[in-house]
Structure 1
């Protein structure tokens, strides 16, 4: 590795494309990165939802979990291939598709989503740490101790995400071994709680329920990570097979997710406690013997930390892409300060804010899905990005398009969002409905497939608009190829 990308050293590179000579990554690194980000035992509620709330039997839940998780992270892998082509983060590459000004919308949505989930991770981890301190030392929760627990989590996150790519890759692989073993131990005890007779005799749900379930899993796993795909893959050499990169993301995330989804489904057959719990950490803890509480809570804390490492690293790069002119490590530091503030508000000030916060983040997923559609369609006719063009956001730059906006991409993105929201119901409970789209009572909406419709609409509209405006696009890509050669 080069001097600015070594384990233990601060990565000095920001969003500028990585030169070919500095790309020393390999697909196995990506496998461990995505495995670690999805190893948290908090994946159990996904399986619980399929069985307890959707009515599937365990075999259907396993199949749905496999298709949803492997499939959605294959999409993450496809966007990672673009990182190999251009050597830059996902949202920086997106400038070539949307134009430097048009890209501000998707990038802002991406950053808000990343920070939002970081706040959720940080808050949940702090609750786990407070529980550990209470069980081990009899220390009661207080405002001061809550802040200390939040600080501990964000400090551990900053230690890895602040140092950067090389350290993050190294930590994710080795921490996976530790927390993987803990997950297996905790999972072994949870298996003893399974009602095996009920599992083996549970009736099958209709095919329509399985289709909707695939959407639930995909929307709750890979789709949320799609706009971070290229952030880690930018250090992959151009010669690396794109298929290996896709396989690394799909298998790295899919293997732990399917195991956790299966276990969650087994636990919820005949017992809806986990699926209905507002606090899954406490619900799972209640299923374990008291002496297993600390290992379990450590497992939950570690899984959240590994996920947060990657999220904060990506959020820092996204902040710079928005135009914040700071070094990468400063952007990461600013991100964790915001995360800390959000955690303090959530735990010490807000009244019933957790549910609304999750709902807000879920709404952002519609816009992210629409961006994914446009970005993937663009990849169909692209194999390279011009490094100087990606960094040139001034008038006359290679990717300036029309007034800094590629209107075909922006219009398709916006249309996907509108259609997705028309099929969306945003609510924290049956009685607290924030927003209900005019098509919210249709089958796709009732089964949580608004994101999939948004993807389809954005894809089709972008394909049509690209066909209409293809001459200018072809000319621009010819200039990129000429510059690259």
Structure 2
């Protein structure tokens, strides 16, 4: 099989580092960042500890930055690169889970965006009913699905404009929150425990943001201009995502001083709505809904790339249709049939996060140990003779099991989920990733020993 079936064609590598920055900036400008900040405070941390947790959590986007840099160097998208670490057949399982994760969170965001559009209409006295909700779903899902016909450079331009529009508008909301914040209360927040409070807060941010986005990083990095310095790809990915996320989380930390229920509310958007002037209501919900669109664009694009990498070969039009049907079907079920489905669905997606944390850890360790001189194109071809790379596969299985042993949430509790792991599934993501690194290095020691004999 020729390289063109694995590598991105040279004439399609048009992304500049600046466009890459705006791509990730737009994906993280959504006002859910305020909620993340409030959740950090819920770990009973001081203002300084909270800000530091937000900073470290945001900078964990160095992980996607690293993946994007590899993608740019090789000119290959994420899960084609991953074939080297797992084998062409062994790669299909984490590849499929990544696809499920992308489609799942995309559906959640479409549902949320639809509800926010409905709330926006209520501010101008248009009643919320099944008809208006259906119209909002058609508009929001339609905007996302239409993006599927655009190429990478066009999407990057769209993301740039979305960054400016929603970045400026979100900044207005941030200023309102900062003006209303109780600064004295923020500064006087008592210090929490670094191990049982600060570390889990970082784990939550990383699990909910950077680790989830890692699977899409090389999908954009592979389209960066060939002569771009790898460091530019790394920093524009890392800081493009980390900058807005950190600023918004800092705002959320202060917002929690006037709206303490923000971290625990089932509808955090309504809680934030109470903290702004009533005349700003329509614009607020427009920003909240619109800010979800860039995230949906990235998820939608990577989901279609992942489906192709699994080995399901369909035309772009058919792929677009398949994903559109799945997303709309899930949204209709949640919005019009069973409102209780969403929380259970999000738990399922959190379980997938443990699987993906071990995947990205193995992917990066494999790159360090075995791909210093670049990736062998033969390992990434679909007809590669290396169907199973057992070192990567066994490491992934062991690490994922470790993650589940330490996870704890409303649906499941692992046998080791005690102490700082109790009711804290995010730390299990760290356990999974750490276990993957350790097992991979152990395998490499055995491999070197056997080669020296």
Aligned position for 1:67: 56
Residue 111 (structure 2) pairs with residue 123 (structure 1): yes
Equivalent of 2:345, from 357, 362, 382? 357
Equivalent of 1:24, from 14, 22, 27? 14
How far residue 329 of structure 1 moved from its aligned partner, in angstroms, is 4.6
Counterpart-to-counterpart distance in 1, 2:402 and 2:451 = 26
How far residue 240 of structure 1 moved from its aligned partner, in angstroms, is 2.6
Residue 233 (structure 2) pairs with residue 245 (structure 1): yes
Aligned position for 1:483: none
Counterpart-to-counterpart distance in 2, 1:335 and 1:50 = 34
Equivalent of 1:77, from 59, 62, 65? 65
Residue 253 (structure 2) pairs with residue 265 (structure 1): yes
Q: Per-residue displacement from partner, 1:302-323 (whole Å, max 9, x unpaired)?
A: 1100110011000000011111
Aligned position for 1:173: 160
**Kept in 1: contact 2:121–2:282 (CA 8 A):** no
Counterpart-to-counterpart distance in 2, 1:419 and 1:207 = 23
Q: Mark the CA change 1:336 to 1:25 in structure 2 (over 3 Å): closer, same or farther.
A: same
**Kept in 1: contact 2:180–2:258 (CA 8 A):** no
Q: Per-residue displacement from partner, 1:102-150 (whole Å, max 9, x unpaired)?
A: 01110011011101111110011001111122222x2222223222211
Counterpart-to-counterpart distance in 2, 1:192 and 1:473 = 65
1:296-335 superposed matches below 5 A: 296-335=284-323
How far residue 327 of structure 1 moved from its aligned partner, in angstroms, is 2.6
Aligned position for 1:411: 394
**Kept in 1: contact 2:15–2:156 (CA 8 A):** no
How far residue 326 of structure 1 moved from its aligned partner, in angstroms, is 1.2
Aligned position for 1:41: 31
Counterpart-to-counterpart distance in 1, 2:224 and 2:19 = 9
1:267-306 superposed matches below 5 A: 267-269=255-257, 271-306=259-294
Residue 442 (structure 2) pairs with residue 464 (structure 1): yes
How far residue 271 of structure 1 moved from its aligned partner, in angstroms, is 4.0
Equivalent of 1:440, from 390, 397, 417? 417
How far residue 160 of structure 1 moved from its aligned partner, in angstroms, is 2.1
Q: Mark the CA change 1:159 to 1:454 in structure 2 (over 3 Å): closer, same or farther.
A: same
How far residue 192 of structure 1 moved from its aligned partner, in angstroms, is 2.9
Runs of 5+ consecutive residues of structure 2 not aligned to the other structure: none
Counterpart-to-counterpart distance in 1, 2:433 and 2:156 = 31
RMSD: 2.1
SS at match of 1:436: coil
Q: Mark the CA change 1:471 to 1:146 in structure 2 (over 3 Å): closer, same or farther.
A: farther
How far residue 341 of structure 1 moved from its aligned partner, in angstroms, is 1.0
Give the paired residue count. 446
Q: Per-residue displacement from partner, 1:279-313 (whole Å, max 9, x unpaired)?
A: 11111112222111111111111110011001100
Q: Mark the CA change 1:23 to 1:437 in structure 2 (over 3 Å): closer, same or farther.
A: same
**Kept in 2: contact 1:38–1:253 (CA 8 A):** yes
Q: Mark the CA change 1:238 to 1:388 in structure 2 (over 3 Å): closer, same or farther.
A: farther
Counterpart-to-counterpart distance in 1, 2:447 and 2:8 = 31
How far residue 49 of structure 1 moved from its aligned partner, in angstroms, is 0.8
Residue 125 (structure 2) pairs with residue 144 (structure 1): no
Q: Mark the CA change 1:214 to 1:172 in structure 2 (over 3 Å): closer, same or farther.
A: same
Aligned position for 1:9: none
**Kept in 1: contact 2:259–2:275 (CA 8 A):** no
Q: Per-residue displacement from partner, 1:234-263 (whole Å, max 9, x unpaired)?
A: 112444322222211111111101111011
How far residue 270 of structure 1 moved from its aligned partner, in angstroms, is 6.0
Aligned position for 1:188: 175
Q: Per-residue displacement from partner, 1:160-180 (whole Å, max 9, x unpaired)?
A: 233131111000011111111
Counterpart-to-counterpart distance in 1, 2:150 and 2:112 = 24
**Kept in 2: contact 1:161–1:310 (CA 8 A):** no
Q: Per-residue displacement from partner, 1:444-465 (whole Å, max 9, x unpaired)?
A: 4555311111111111112222
Aligned position for 2:324: 336
SS at match of 1:469: helix
1:89-100 superposed matches below 5 A: 89-100=77-88
Mean Cα deviation higher: 381-390 or 404-413 = 381-390
Q: Mark the CA change 1:270 to 1:190 in structure 2 (over 3 Å): closer, same or farther.
A: closer
Counterpart-to-counterpart distance in 1, 2:6 and 2:288 = 35
Counterpart-to-counterpart distance in 1, 2:259 and 2:269 = 16
**Kept in 2: contact 1:15–1:89 (CA 8 A):** no
Residue 156 (structure 2) pairs with residue 156 (structure 1): no
With normalisation by structure 2, the TM-score equals: 0.93
